Every structure is written in C-alpha cells, then in structure tokens.
Amino acid sequence: MTITEKQKRWLKKQVHHLNPVVIVGQHGLTESVLAEIEIAMSHHELLKIRINAGDREARDAVIGVIQDRTQANLITRIGNVAAFYRANPDKREPIVVPKL
C-alpha cells in the first residue's frame, strides 16, 4: 500500500507519543529481531524502532532491510528512531488512515 505525503503527516502525529517497541542492538538486525518486528507490526500496525547501529549509513541499511522484509512504509526517521506503518486488515480495530 502506498501512502501519500498527507497521510504520512497524519501518521507522524499518531506515532509521536509512542515509545520504541523493538530495539536493534549492537549485534545488528538478526533473524530473531526481524521475527519480533514482524510480530509487533502485525499487532500494532504503527510502531517505532530504535536502531543502535554505528553510523548513519549503517542505520539507513538496517531501515532498508526492515522495509524490504516487512513490506512496511517508513513514516519518519529522527536520529536513531524510525517509525513504520503496515496496515493489518485482520486486526480487530485497525488504524483507519484518512483518505487525504
């Protein structure tokens, strides 16, 4: 699902108050961390991930892998924290993104 810039702005407002759900530590992005991200993505739809990688290029690479493997949209990235959104229509109360 592609989202527009206006929808991204709306999602940024929704994610602002959330705390990071998953933290990618010094060992990097392992298969177990990716599995936890997948579970969290299915449960929350909108989540923050803290990436404690060495430098900006390493964090960008981790963000790219997360996007590819989870098919999630990157909403925002500030420093070590990135926010992702992936719709889950099977969720009891899914996030309804306005059609802006």
- Output the DSSP codes for 74-94: EEEEETTEEEEE---TTSSS-
Q: Distances in Å between the alpha carbon of 60 and those of 13, 18, 31, 36, 92? A: 23, 21, 18, 19, 33
User: Tens digits of per-residue pLDDT, 78-92?
Assistant: 989 999 999 888 888
Question: Is the model more confident about 97 or about 75?
Answer: 75
User: Tens digits of per-residue pLDDT, 28-87?
Assistant: 889 999 999 999 999 999 999 999 977 889 899 999 999 999 999 999 999 899 999 998
